[in-house]
Structure 1
């Protein structure tokens, strides 16, 4: 196995062009598992750990541009207030040691349906920034996943960063696993409220061949909140609204039976997670309105 260790991003892209069959490695939390269990034997490894460009983040054009090498731990500590849903998901990833090494960029590259970072990224207009010696592409995250552990990258491309808007409303994430920690998800769900746009975002994980949104549930909830004036009044959600949202989320899934759970269980769990996370997010939205009103009256 050849080991490639470029010193610059330009060198990395050149190496990728020369060795399209090389497997990129940064945190290594997915790649090393595959190697250790002899599930993969790539012709070459392309080590990106020396590239400081991948470890930086900054605001850019209404988004946060987060380098592919920013770790889960840094997502939590440095971006938790701006990307709360993604930070919640990051907290469920592995152990502290894994969170100190693993990256969202690696999660995107692996494109596993069970990747914890995918559902929060789907709740907003996230873009995956792919570089090659030919130029730069920004791929909408919904178009990035093309199959089980397959993505839209060309053979000569590397993920440089992802771009996501900072939260403008409450975000929530929930995960069910076969134990409380250090476990692959049975299923996951994320929801984000976008009050200024009158829009709702969702993301499902470990519930279909690829991570996906529940678009019918998003449209239903956004229309219901607009029709009832709840975006403005922040009144409590009607029970039938919460129940229907959960039903539509479960309907959007296409799960399988496997060692972690049955398809029927996953659909049921998704409905429960959708109802819970929506309730949590709406409660936060109502409280934020109360605080705003209190500040104005003071």
Structure 2
């Protein structure tokens, strides 16, 4: 196994172009596990640890451009206001040691349906900045996941950053696992309210071959909030609405039975998570009017 260690971003792109099968490594929290257990033995490892721009973020304007290797610890500490859903997901990632190294780029590159960042990225409407020596393109998050642990990156492309609109409303994330830390999610759910466009987005993890959105649930909730005047009145949501939303989220899943849980349990748990997170986000939205805060 050859170890490639470029000192700059152009060098990294050149190395990836010359060796398209080279496996990028930044935090190493996924790749090194696979190598240590002999699940993967690539001919080349492409170490991106010296590329400082991958560990930087920029929040100018209404968008956050998040470097692929910004560790979860910094996302939690520095971006909880602008990207609350992703920060909440970051809090659940493994242990403090892994949160100090792992970043969103690794989750995207691995494209495991159980990756903790995926539901928040879907709910937030992220775009993935994919770069090669041929140029840069933005991949909408909805088009990024193409199969089980497969993504839309070309062989010569690297993830440089993720772009997310700053939150205009409350966001939530929750997952079910066998314990509170160091656990792969049995299922996970993210939701974001977008009051500026009177919209709702969701993300489901570990309950389908790829991370997915519950689009029917989103459309139902957006219509109910608009038709019922809930956006303006900010009153409590009817229990029947919460139940129907939860059922649509559970119905969007396509889970399997495995060692972490049965398909039936995953569907049930997703419904519970959907109802709870919608309740939490709506209470936050109502509270913003009742008790406004000052920057």
TM-score, normalised to structure 1's length?
0.97
Per-residue CA shift, 1:55-81, capped at 9, x if unaligned?
111135631110001000010011111
Structure 1: stretches of 5+ with no match in the other structure: none
Matches within 5 A, 1:1-298: 1-59=1-59, 62-292=62-292
Structure 2: stretches of 5+ with no match in the other structure: none
Give the Cα separation in 1 of the matches to 2:105 and 2:93.
Answer: 14
Give the Cα separation in 2 of the matches to 1:231 and 1:284.
Answer: 13
**RMSD (CA atoms):** 1.1
- CA drift of 1:289 comes to 1.0
- CA drift of 1:149 comes to 0.5
Aligned length: 294
Give the Cα separation in 2 of the matches to 1:137 and 1:63.
Answer: 17
Give the Cα separation in 2 of the matches to 1:276 and 1:44.
Answer: 45
Give the Cα separation in 1 of the matches to 2:229 and 2:243.
Answer: 19
Per-residue CA shift, 1:86-118, capped at 9, x if unaligned?
001000001000000001111110000000000
Give the Cα separation in 1 of the matches to 2:181 and 2:20.
Answer: 35
- CA drift of 1:173 comes to 0.3
Give the Cα separation in 1 of the matches to 2:273 and 2:176.
Answer: 9
Give the Cα separation in 2 of the matches to 1:80 and 1:226.
Answer: 28
- CA drift of 1:33 comes to 0.4
- CA drift of 1:285 comes to 0.7
Give the Cα separation in 1 of the matches to 2:10 and 2:112.
Answer: 28
Give the Cα separation in 2 of the matches to 1:53 and 1:7.
Answer: 11
Q: Cα distance 1:99–1:26, how it changes in 2: closer, same or farther (>3 A)? A: same
Give the Cα separation in 2 of the matches to 1:64 and 1:170.
Answer: 16
- CA drift of 1:271 comes to 0.2
What secondary structure does 2:259 align onto? coil
TM-score, normalised to structure 2's length?
0.98
Give the Cα separation in 2 of the matches to 1:101 and 1:2.
Answer: 22
Per-residue CA shift, 1:205-238, capped at 9, x if unaligned?
0010000000000000010011110100000000
Give the Cα separation in 2 of the matches to 1:268 and 1:120.
Answer: 20
Instruction: Point out 4+ residue stretches in structure 1 off by more than 3 angstroms.
Output: none
Give the Cα separation in 1 of the matches to 2:136 and 2:60.
Answer: 15
